[in-house]
Structure 1
């Protein structure tokens, strides 16, 4: 089970970073509508969401939703995403086969997928073809 989760996580990381890289750094402030996040805010949200799901549902350490300040640029955002994926990877490597914790991993992955799908829409709005999905 652990090996499968780690493989799925690595695929999620690789595709998320590919999507983040597809957006030019000078377009990280782009948002298709005034009522939604910028691309940078969206990608930062994915990173923080990974940490929050990990704390609350995998480590089972309740924490409030209290995101840090938004990363200032594309480079910092991609570093934050990678750091967040590293944190989740460490937890999965140490996980005991507890149904609640496994459910937490899948919930975190689902959250990543949900917002990464939004990010691919941002790319298309900018005329950029998103990277090919791999699994």
Structure 2
């Protein structure tokens, strides 16, 4: 089970990074409408939530919801998302036997990332940018 979860988490990481890299830095503040997050805020949110869910669902820490302000360049935001995925991967590898609650936590991380990555793909398309091809390896 752990191997399957880690493989799926790595697929999520790869596609999320490719999606973030596809948006030019001068478009990182793009919003399709005023009421939604910018592309940068969206990618930052994915990273923050991975860390928050890791604490709450995998480490059993009760972390408060306290997202930091969003700042940084494209490369800094991509580094942040890479770190979030690397940290949760390390946590999963460090657990001898995952509980059902932890397994559900990993699924929540993947599902949440997929949800917001889908929004990010829409932002790319709004800018006439072809998103990276999704590769699913069964």
Matched with 2:14 is 14
Partners of 1:74 and 1:32 in 2: how far apart?
18
Partners of 1:119 and 1:15 in 2: how far apart?
11
Residues 1:43 and 2:47 are matched in the alignment: no
Matched with 1:58 is 58
Partners of 1:49 and 1:71 in 2: how far apart?
16
Partners of 1:18 and 1:65 in 2: how far apart?
27
TM-score (norm 2): 0.95
1:97 positional shift = 2.4
Instruction: Detail structure 1 runs of 4+ shifted over 2 Å in the superposition.
Output: none
1:134 positional shift = 1.2
User: How many residues in Structure 1 have an aligned counterpart in Structure 2?
Assistant: 135
Matched with 1:26 is 26
Which runs of 5 or more residues in structure 1 are unaligned? none
Partners of 1:36 and 1:21 in 2: how far apart?
20
TM-score (norm 1): 0.97
1:73 positional shift = 1.6
Partners of 1:97 and 1:130 in 2: how far apart?
34
Partners of 2:105 and 2:134 in 1: how far apart?
23
